[in-house]
């Protein structure tokens, strides 16, 4: 029983136990190891100065530091019980069923930056990987303590040198390697806390400037970074992420196939940092210092109060009577909110969902002056993304490769209905509200939209696609966008504009990710089976999809500006103006080019919905004799109903159906 008086204290009488020693797998988690993220908890929060990015290496380093300290000889004997240190936390639920089966365990989403050791305790860090490669190749004099970041795993199937293994990691994760006295020091450039040393005196060489700066043109640098990796959250299948500048001055791409296993968000952060570093590298500096500045070494950060503005990283030094330096612009890591990648959901059966991309086949008109030229096309989205091979066959076997999809399309669905709207001018009344599967939209000026920017395909209620331009894009919620400043019915899709679109209608951004199928004329309008398969992987296919498109691109547009004039003879002169879909959008004077080999029209005289007379003519007009009018109607008409369409070599054109008052 409890004693009435307290026991007298003696040193080392009661050793401490660490019953919950741990840190969240979040950046800067060691600032507040007890803090965790849980949307359902009032105690949810981020550690001080954390942006919420997942960081398995932060958790690893925290545990290593504590275990090394408390189990070392520096701790007074009897202060800590070495057998009473317990890491927090190991979950009895089996990985990867937890956390990926979010339908069964609601706290699976918290695993991403939580304290769980399951699924990451046995993985590597970037520093560990580089160190292991160097030791395997006989290098011992190196320091990787300033390398930060996760990797997970790294696989190379063939025998190669340490340089070949490490260089891809150095390039993608922006690691500087400094050699000094035979010792290699590795340092992650964006996260290194390097104080900038001020240099006030430069070497004044005869007939040379004190310093020279070179700035590359935007077109010389990449606008997109693409990284291919293996995703542990998807059974280690090959996946890819991409980072792209919204305002791109070039189509240059940075691409790296990395034989590494790492989380998707780690790969995305690496791609974004790689692209940003590529942009910074366009600014380089050359200058010389006196031989007394012997302390300056490669990898140092310098600032010049009387020289160019900014911080510069020393890349190379050429020693002689003076020290010639080559430097490049430097900026530290940008702290920004991260894109949370949720664990996948396992179906009720418990098995993997397998390969199931979202696929859309689009029967589009011809489009000009845009990134996607229209025609019968295909778009796909998947997470994780895998490059897809698209094949077709008129039968159930004998498929042949038609094209490959290298990028995921920006796809989604309407969350609000789209009402009919005006054609030929911006629509101020309507907006498109889209729930995106992935990707993002960007605003553009009205001039840019008129010139072909921001084209969108929306599945309309009439069973066709409306092509829409949009000027303003606003993300109103996570993954939900409101697009306004609409330019409706582009490419001759006024029929879809008049029909409108309902909730759940498919939406596809018409950019370079959407690829034309390249149909021959004989294949247009003929049903074929199409399948999609991930390239380089042995897995199930997606499909077959039956698609019989291709005629819309060869369908003449509906005529416009129909008129009916009664002549002095009593006959009616019916006229209209044809439109073109090929090179017809120029502002120059002159006739619109004829799309077909010959000009032909089918004209129908209507009485309500009944066709009273049908004629085919070779010019954009027809004289309706008064005698035929009396025979058809029994009297002269004050209004006349007509339907006219241009005839193409593969398809009859879209109709112009109208009732016109007779003039004259």
Say yes or no: 365 and 460 in one domain: yes
Tens of pLDDT, residues 213-225 = 998 887 778 888 8
Count of the separate structural domains present in the chain? 4
Say yes or no: 397 and 539 in one domain: yes
Give the pLDDT score at 571: 92
Say yes or no: 420 and 512 in one domain: yes
- Say how far apart CA 487 and CA 428 lie, in whole Å: 9
Last residue of a domain, one of 188, 216, 244: 188
Closest CA to 266 of 26, 565, 79, 616: 26
Say yes or no: 622 and 522 in one domain: no
Per DSSP, helices labelled H in 71-177 are 97-100, 126-136, 162-173
Last residue of a domain, one of 113, 133, 162: 113
Strands 16-21 and 80-87: parallel
Residue 548 resides in a domain: yes
Residue 246 resides in a domain: no
Tens of pLDDT, residues 8-45 = 888 878 889 999 999 999 999 999 999 998 888 888 89
Is pTM beyond 0.75 here? Answer: no
Question: Sheet of 572-577: strands edge to edge?
Answer: 560-566, 572-577, 621-624
Say yes or no: 546 and 573 in one domain: no
Residue 119 resides in a domain: no
Give the pLDDT score at 348: 42
Taking 50 as the pLDDT cut, the residues of the chain under it are 340-353
Give the pLDDT score at 352: 41
Give me the domain span that covers residue 162.
Answer: 124-188
Say yes or no: 483 and 364 in one domain: yes
Say yes or no: 507 and 405 in one domain: yes
Residue 261 resides in a domain: no
- Say how far apart CA 389 and CA 437 lie, in whole Å: 21
* CATH classification of the domain holding 617: 2.60.40.10
Q: Is 212 helix (H, G, I), strand (E, B) or coil?
A: strand
- Say how far apart CA 621 and CA 573 lie, in whole Å: 7
Give the pLDDT score at 537: 61
Residue 196 resides in a domain: no
Residue 206 resides in a domain: no
Give the pLDDT score at 345: 42
Give the pLDDT score at 536: 64
Per the structure block, which two tokens stand in for 266? Answer: 């780690």
Say yes or no: 168 and 29 in one domain: no
Say yes or no: 595 and 540 in one domain: no
Per the structure block, which two tokens stand in for 660? Answer: 């016109």
User: In this structure, are residues 121 and 67 in contact, taking their beta carbons and an 8 Å threshold?
Assistant: no
Say yes or no: 427 and 547 in one domain: yes
Residue 264 resides in a domain: no
């Amino acid at each position: 029983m409890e004693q009435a008086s307290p026991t007298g204290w003696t040193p080392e009488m009661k050793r401490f136990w660490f019953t919950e020693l741990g840190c969240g797998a979040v950046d800067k988690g060691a600032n507040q190891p007890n803090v965790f993220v849980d949307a359902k908890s009032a105690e949810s929060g981020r550690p001080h100065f954390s942006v919420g990015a997942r960081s398995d290496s932060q958790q690893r380093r925290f545990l290593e530091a504590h275990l090394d300290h408390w189990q070392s000889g520096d701790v007074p004997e009897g202060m800590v019980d070495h057998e009473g240190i317990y890491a927090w936390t190991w979950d009895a639920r089996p990985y990867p069923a937890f956390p990926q089966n979010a339908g069964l365990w609601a706290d699976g989403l918290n695993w991403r930056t939580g304290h769980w050791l399951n699924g990451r305790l046995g993985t590597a860090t970037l520093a560990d990987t580089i160190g292991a490669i160097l030791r395997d190749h006989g290098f011992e004099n190196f320091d990787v303590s300033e390398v930060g970041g996760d990797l997970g795993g790294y696989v190379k199937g063939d025998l190669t040198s340490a340089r070949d293994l490490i260089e891809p990691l150095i390039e993608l994760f922006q690691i500087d390697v400094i050699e000094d006295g035979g010792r290699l020091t590795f340092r992650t450039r964006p996260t290194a806390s390097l104080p900038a040393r001020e240099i006030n005196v430069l070497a004044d060489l005869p007939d040379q400037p004190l310093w020279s700066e070179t700035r590359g043109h935007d077109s010389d640098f990449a606008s997109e970074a693409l990284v291919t990796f293996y995703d542990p959250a998807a059974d280690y299948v090959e996946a890819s992420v991409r980072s792209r500048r919204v305002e791109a001055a070039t189509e240059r791409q940075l691409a790296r196939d990395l034989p590494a296993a790492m989380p998707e968000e780690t790969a995305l952060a690496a791609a974004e940092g790689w692209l940003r570093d590529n942009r910074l590298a366009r600014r380089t500096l050359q200058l010389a210092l006196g031989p007394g500045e012997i302390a300056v070494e490669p990898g140092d950060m310098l600032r010049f109060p009387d020289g160019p503005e900014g911080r510069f990283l020393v890349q190379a030094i050429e020693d002689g009577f003076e020290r010639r330096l080559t430097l490049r612009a430097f900026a530290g890591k940008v702290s920004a909110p991260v894109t949370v990648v949720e664990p996948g959901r396992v179906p009720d059966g418990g098995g993997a969902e397998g390969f199931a991309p979202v696929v859309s086949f689009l029967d589009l008109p011809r489009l000009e002056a845009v990134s996607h030229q229209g025609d019968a096309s295909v778009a796909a989205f998947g997470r994780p993304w895998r490059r897809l091979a698209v094949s077709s066959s008129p039968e159930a076997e004998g498929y042949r490769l038609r094209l490959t999809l290298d990028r995921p399309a920006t796809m989604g669905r309407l969350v609000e209905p789209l009402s009919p709207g005006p054609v030929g001018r911006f629509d101020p009344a309507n907006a498109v509200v889209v729930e995106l599967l992935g990707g993002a939209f960007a605003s553009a000026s009205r001039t840019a939209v008129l010139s072909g920017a921001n084209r969108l395909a929306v599945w309309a209620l009439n069973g066709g696609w409306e092509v829409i331009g949009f000027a303003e894009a606003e993300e109103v919620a996570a993954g939900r966008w409101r697009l306004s400043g609409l330019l409706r019915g582009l490419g001759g899709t006024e029929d879809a504009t008049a029909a409108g679109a309902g909730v759940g209608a498919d939406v596809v951004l018409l950019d370079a990710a959407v690829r034309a199928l390249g149909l021959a004329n004989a294949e247009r309008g003929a049903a074929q089976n199409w399948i999609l398969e991930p390239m380089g992987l042995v897995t199930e296919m997606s499909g077959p999809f039956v698609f019989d498109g291709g005629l819309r691109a060869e369908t003449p547009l509906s005529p416009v500006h129909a008129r009916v004039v009664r002549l002095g003879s009593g006959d009616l002169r019916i006229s209209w103006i044809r439109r073109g879909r090929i090179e017809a959008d120029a502002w120059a004077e002159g006739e619109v080019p004829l799309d077909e080999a010959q000009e032909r029209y089918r004209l129908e005289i209507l009485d309500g919905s009944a066709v009273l007379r049908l004629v085919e003519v070779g010019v954009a007009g027809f004289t309706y004799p008064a005698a035929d009018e009396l025979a058809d109607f029994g009297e002269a008409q004050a209004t006349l109903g007509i339907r006219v369409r241009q005839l193409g070599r593969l398809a009859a054109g879209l109709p112009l159906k109208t009732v016109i008052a007779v003039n004259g």
